[in-house]
């Protein structure tokens, strides 16, 4: 069973962020969901119901255009699609700076 630290030693919500590696270790094992979005399309339900095997849905991105990378539904980066040992991957090309306000 992991040791629990004294709650009085924990920063208040909205307090200062962790500043060193030791403080960050507490969150290293928290799982996050990473999504790479190739593009989006809008269509009516009637169009959706007509789709079948082999149908092509045109997305809003051009070939070679950067795709969006989300962590827990928050945009954090953009990147390019790559192939890694017969699997798709993403090379990050831009990190999105978050506004902390």
d(CA 26, CA 33): 18
d(CA 25, CA 53): 47
Within 1-101, where are the H helices? 21-24, 45-50
pLDDT tens for residues 28-61? 899 999 999 999 999 999 999 999 999 999 999 9
Model-level pTM greater than 0.85?
Answer: no
Domain range 32-101, CATH class? mainly beta
Does residue 93 or residue 101 have the better pLDDT? 93
Structure tokens of 73?
């539904």
């Amino acid at each position: 069973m992991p040791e629990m630290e004294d709650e009085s030693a924990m920063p208040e919500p909205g307090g200062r962020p962790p500043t060193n590696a030791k403080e960050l270790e507490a969150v290293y094992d928290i799982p996050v969901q990473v999504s790479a979005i190739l593009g989006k399309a809008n269509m009516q339900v009637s169009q959706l119901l007509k789709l079948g095997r082999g149908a092509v849905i045109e997305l809003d991105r051009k070939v070679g255009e950067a795709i969006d990378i989300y962590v827990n539904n928050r945009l954090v980066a953009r990147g390019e699609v790559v192939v890694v040992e017969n699997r798709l991957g993403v090379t990050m090309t831009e990190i999105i700076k978050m506004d902390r306000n």
